[in-house]
Amino acid sequence: MIADLLASQREGWSLERPFYRDADIYALENDRLFPRQWSVVAHVADLPQRGAHVVRSLFGQEIIVVNAGDHGFRAYHNVCTHRGSRICKGDGKSPMLVCPYHAWSFQLTGELKTTRDLPAGVDPTQLGLHPVACREIGGLILCGLDIAAMPSLDAMEQAMLPTLRQHGIERAKVAARRSYPTRANWKLVLENFYECYHCRPSHPEYFRMNGHIAATAISDPAAASDWEEKVAIWRAGLDDAPYNREIRVAGGVDEARFTTYRHPIGLGRRTASRTGDPVAPLMGGFTDYDGGETALHLGMFGFLGAYNDHAVLFQFVPIGPDETDVVLTWFVDAEADLAAIDEDALTFLWDVTTRQDKGIVEENARGVDSPAYRPGPYTVLEAQTAGFVSHYAAMMRTLLSRDSGTQDPLRVVA
Amino acid sequence: MIADLLASQREGWSLERPFYRDADIYALENDRLFPRQWSVVAHVADLPQRGAHVVRSLFGQEIIVVNAGDHGFRAYHNVCTHRGSRICKGDGKSPMLVCPYHAWSFQLTGELKTTRDLPAGVDPTQLGLHPVACREIGGLILCGLDIAAMPSLDAMEQAMLPTLRQHGIERAKVAARRSYPTRANWKLVLENFYECYHCRPSHPEYFRMNGHIAATAISDPAAASDWEEKVAIWRAGLDDAPYNREIRVAGGVDEARFTTYRHPIGLGRRTASRTGDPVAPLMGGFTDYDGGETALHLGMFGFLGAYNDHAVLFQFVPIGPDETDVVLTWFVDAEADLAAIDEDALTFLWDVTTRQDKGIVEENARGVDSPAYRPGPYTVLEAQTAGFVSHYAAMMRTLLSRDSGTQDPLRVVA
Amino acid sequence: MIADLLASQREGWSLERPFYRDADIYALENDRLFPRQWSVVAHVADLPQRGAHVVRSLFGQEIIVVNAGDHGFRAYHNVCTHRGSRICKGDGKSPMLVCPYHAWSFQLTGELKTTRDLPAGVDPTQLGLHPVACREIGGLILCGLDIAAMPSLDAMEQAMLPTLRQHGIERAKVAARRSYPTRANWKLVLENFYECYHCRPSHPEYFRMNGHIAATAISDPAAASDWEEKVAIWRAGLDDAPYNREIRVAGGVDEARFTTYRHPIGLGRRTASRTGDPVAPLMGGFTDYDGGETALHLGMFGFLGAYNDHAVLFQFVPIGPDETDVVLTWFVDAEADLAAIDEDALTFLWDVTTRQDKGIVEENARGVDSPAYRPGPYTVLEAQTAGFVSHYAAMMRTLLSRDSGTQDPLRVVA
């Protein structure tokens, strides 16, 4: 049935209703699609010392990410191998991971240390923590559930590392973090994020502060070519450092989807603040303002928007068929004095815009919930959204055509 | 399985447990029964000018009812044909229906007005709003989901119009509106509404204020014939205007169920108030008090109780297998001064009675939820309830015997 | 599928994930296992006079337990045989059971008394209340849903009566009752209750107050044999009265599971209080403190812990696949002056311990909910838990191998 729906999916039109609401389709995504996706789950600043750990939800499964010192960052399911209790209730720091229930303890590298009480014949080396795929790139920690089937991150790392370093993300400080739980399917959240056709009616503040609106929020060929001209002039002023290049990789089942590109904020602005004036010291390798905005799509569920003086990480976290969490983290430079940062100024644009997005996406979800909903046509101003939907449908078709899903999330461990 | 349950339904006994609680049966009702039912969704006073609109839930589907001026009242699904967003968040007024997401706009008659952004090859005439059946009768606006399969309202209109006009409903003012959400299946709510056997133990105020109780709340042939005599005497004092006639149409799949009849309130009362004294000016065509109560059943889900000086509309709104909203609207005459109305006096009887009904029906639902529930016999004092249940079972049998349900609620539009 | 899971259940390891969370398995338990289990639902002190009744939930079905005077204690489903309304909203007392909806009344022995309104041909003797199995043993009232298939209580009654009498439970007073709703499957709650391996990390207060911890909370052969020696010395000081004997009956489909045994609290304590000093007068037949703790498992879902001066009843009440209520009742002697009891002192141990148990079991449930959960090995210190799980699996295998479940909970009545 789902295969039929996918087969009849009309290119350039929104998805059929079940994709936005049905528990069955969400379960299928959960079984086949999500376990193969890398997600940014934390920043190295969240785990500064050996033994530091954070608890995160990764596609509904709770994981522990731990700083294992010389062993780098590691991630495990937050489930004791004894009776199954959660091990960590929240973020913390300890030299071992100790389950509070019966005090079983595990090394930071996962091995069971408590072996005295084991019954005869039980092999403690089979009772280590269940690992989760974990990789750090330029300060961002990405995880994935199906350790045996994760797509390659090599191309993404190679393309992004210069950009992440230039923006100083590797050693950045977290200045603010906020969550925007949204009652809508994750695909509606992403469809909205991928287009700015709605920016004019829905985001007055964003509309006033961004030059690209002319080309993305209304069909006006003159305005669009005017904007292209401005971008070309701005780009001509840049050097050809790797971080100034544009790379777009559509990705698929075996390689991670990502994008890195830059364009000017425009309207005479140095950064994406209410006034256009800086809200924090220059970050990383920047020695002056070039008024640029760097856009990095990190897999399907992460995005980093980086300006000269700050950066904003977006984590899109599917919670259920009709619930998605959107978590924003604002970064400033490693050398910045957090006490001197005006948090309201720093967070203004993306806080107001994300609260508006939550509102309009929830209205979209309520409408799509009606039996009267029918797929509608994406306009030319929603080309990236159409591209995302097309990518999603292609991924699902491929994953469905395979014999079976990731039926055992721990199969490589067993 | 449901067909078997319906086949074995014992005449004169309450329904089997699944009919009062199972999601499957509710889904079947939602697919076959509800889309063919007319429901009163608003009064013309709710949409006084061209462009005024109200948002209502019709069997779980959100609709917009709009005053389209010369085009009369129209109703649409509250779903944009672009990306599916809700269009109206609430009641309001505007010359066009504009979706807040991407600002697509629609005429009050449903046509898409925004066509500039459409991709090539997309026909804007196919992107009008999805219509819902809509009909105004004597000031009441009725809607239905399956525009191609609604039962005829002609007989109902012909029978009721004189009554609605005599009671001044066409131009009445809304003096109060209250909602009584009830955690019970809609059939339990209606079964309760259709009998007064429970009035003696459950409604002391109603019991004291209504003369028909003697015949409907206890088996007492003497009291019953005494009441019949009183009604006959009262009726002899009336003229033979159409609104004084009694008409009962059981209805079915192709014709709407309705009833209109009058009887005296009795006990020396001019109206259904605590004291029996008027609570508002005489309505519509009445020039004096005749102490009558007019009862109009409007389809399965609506009822209007009209006295000489006020009227109360009951809307029974199924929300889910175990949830029903009951909405009461109190009307007074077009010429009445709302500021001079004592709202407590006006609403006393039906507010206290409906709150009591909510309580007893919820207790009924909790009991029926037990696996120990068995259908029980309706007594002679519950004849109308038995009739309603019999009508329901017959409707369901007919609708199930057809090849398929209303699988596409918009099939006539496509 | 469930049969396969049960067949592959590894002895000495925790259950597969579905047993702790799936609605299907809970539904099967509800259909086959629960209706055959006796549960303590009340104490005679809750229904002191003829006509007194209490409303209780028995495996999700609401029942009325009534003191029927010379007819003893009786229990019925809280469902009227007329239209199915709940009859009693809560505990109370009345000479008949009267449904508030239409005032149908029933004798305390269940027969319908209201017959005047019945339609012709309906036999009132077929409209009595639906009975539930009910038995009083030593002051405890036990009920069971499937009146035709309850396991025998004779052995349990014979074994426990001397103990319950010695502890004065038959005439005891209820000094306190508290509920600890726990978001976890009932088997996780019981698995936790059956072992003290977790007491050291999780229950500091209990740990300090109980001598058996040395043998149950850590693998230490020396400490274990030291404790056995202490128990042997203590036991040598007791007479051979029946209540001092140890009886353990594993039980099964046809006989109730129960245990009665005694051991010393130890650590120089006379009772299980913070200081070891009494918190109430001696109970029942005790004339001096022997520092003993009496443990009575009453079926699968009840436990009584009795000390010389007070007793604590545990009722484990499955509410849903992931919800269990734990209700504790503290008893003191019939002659005790309730006003003189220090409730904080009386309830200290089991209140703090049960709140901690709620916490750790909920953490266990959250972990088990993860797809990464795998059955783990019970240690030697969790032998009773392993035994409980083994008993459960055996019961389920037996019940599944039979042709069908208790499809009609009232089949003997019909």
Q: Which domains does chain C have, with CATH numbers?
A: 39-140 (2.102.10.10), 152-399 (3.90.380.10)
- Interface partners of A (3+ CB pairs, < 8 Å)? B, C
Contact A103 C12 (CB under 8 A): no
Rounded to a whole number, what is the distance in Å from the CA of A84 to chain C's nearest CA? 5
The residue of chain C nearest to residue B370, with distances taken between CA atoms, is C61
Rounded to a whole number, what is the distance in Å from the CA of A79 to chain C's nearest CA? 5
ipTM for the assembly = 0.92
C168: left (phi over 0), alpha (psi -120 to 50) or beta: left
- B197 contacts on C by Cβ (under 8 Å): 102, 117
* C84 in contact with B, Cβ within 8 Å: yes
Tell me the C-alpha to C-alpha distance, in Å, between residue C336 and each of C43, C47, C266, C282.
Answer: 17, 19, 25, 9
* Side chain identity, residue C413: V
Contact A379 B118 (CB under 8 A): yes
Task: Quote the DSSP letter at residue A232.
Answer: H
Contact B101 A201 (CB under 8 A): yes
* Side chain identity, residue C73: F
Contact C119 B376 (CB under 8 A): no
Which residue's structure tokens are 């569920």?
A301
DSSP H helices in C69-203:
154-166, 186-193, 199-202
Tens digits of pLDDT across chain C (414 residues): 899 999 989 999 999 999 999 999 999 999 999 999 999 999 999 999 999 999 999 999 999 999 999 999 999 999 999 999 999 999 999 999 999 999 999 999 999 998 888 999 999 999 999 999 999 999 999 999 999 999 999 999 999 999 999 999 999 999 999 999 999 999 999 999 999 999 999 999 999 999 999 899 988 999 999 999 999 999 999 999 999 999 999 999 999 999 999 999 999 999 999 999 999 999 999 999 999 999 999 999 999 999 999 999 999 999 999 999 999 999 999 999 999 999 999 999 999 999 999 999 999 999 999 999 999 999 999 999 999 999 999 999 999 988 554 445 454 333
Q: Which of B86, B116, B118 sits opposite A377 (nearest CB)?
A: B118
The Cα B272–Cα B205 span in angstroms is: 11
* A77 in contact with C, Cβ within 8 Å: yes
Residue A391's Cβ-count burial label (10 Å; 0-12, 13-18, 19+) is middle
Tens digits of pLDDT across chain A (414 residues): 899 999 989 999 999 999 999 999 999 999 999 999 999 999 999 999 999 999 999 999 999 999 999 999 999 999 999 999 999 999 999 999 999 999 999 999 999 998 888 999 999 999 999 999 999 999 999 999 999 999 999 999 999 999 999 999 999 999 999 999 999 999 999 999 999 999 999 999 999 999 999 899 988 999 999 999 999 999 999 999 999 999 999 999 999 999 999 999 999 999 999 999 999 999 999 999 999 999 999 999 999 999 999 999 999 999 999 999 999 999 999 999 999 999 999 999 999 999 999 999 999 999 999 999 999 999 999 999 999 999 999 999 999 988 554 445 454 333
Residue pair C316/C310 in contact by the 8 Å Cβ criterion: no
Q: Return the closest-CA partner of residue A117 out of C15, C220, C385.
A: C220
Record the tokens describing residue A157, joined without a space. Answer: 């790392």
Rounded to a whole number, what is the distance in Å from the CA of B119 to chain A's nearest CA? 5
The Cα C301–Cα C35 span in angstroms is: 12
Contact A101 C370 (CB under 8 A): no
- B62 contacts on A by Cβ (under 8 Å): 366, 370
A contact residues 319-378, partner B, Cβ 8 Å cutoff? 360, 363-364, 366-368, 370-374, 376-378
Question: Residue B411 above 80 pLDDT?
Answer: no
Note the pTM of the prediction, 2 decimals.
0.90
For residue B208, the tally of other CB atoms under 10 A from its CB is: 10
The Cα C274–Cα C137 span in angstroms is: 31
Residue A208's Cβ-count burial label (10 Å; 0-12, 13-18, 19+) is exposed
Question: Residue B147 above 60 pLDDT?
Answer: yes
Q: Return the closest-CA partner of residue C307 out of C297, C318, C296, C299.
A: C296
Residue pair A54/A40 in contact by the 8 Å Cβ criterion: no
C contact residues 1-60, partner B, Cβ 8 Å cutoff? none
Rounded to a whole number, what is the distance in Å from the CA of C200 to chain A's nearest CA? 8
Cβ neighbours of residue A337 under 8 Å, at least 6 residues apart? none
Helix A186-193 vs helix A343-368: angle between axes, to the nearest 10 degrees?
120
* A381 in contact with B, Cβ within 8 Å: yes
Q: How many CA atoms lie within 13 A of C260 on its CB side?
A: 20
The residue of chain B nearest to residue C62, with distances taken between CA atoms, is B370
- C133 contacts on B by Cβ (under 8 Å): none
Cβ neighbours of residue C250 under 8 Å, at least 6 residues apart? C257, C387, C391
The mean pLDDT of B399-406, rounded to a whole number, is 71
The Cα C44–Cα C173 span in angstroms is: 9
Contact C79 B360 (CB under 8 A): no
- A201 contacts on B by Cβ (under 8 Å): 100-103
The Cα A37–Cα A31 span in angstroms is: 11
Q: Which of B370, B374, B380 sits opposite C62 (nearest CB)?
A: B370
- B84 contacts on A by Cβ (under 8 Å): 14, 20, 364, 367-368, 370, 373-374, 376
Q: Return the closest-CA partner of residue C167 out of C242, C250, C240.
A: C242
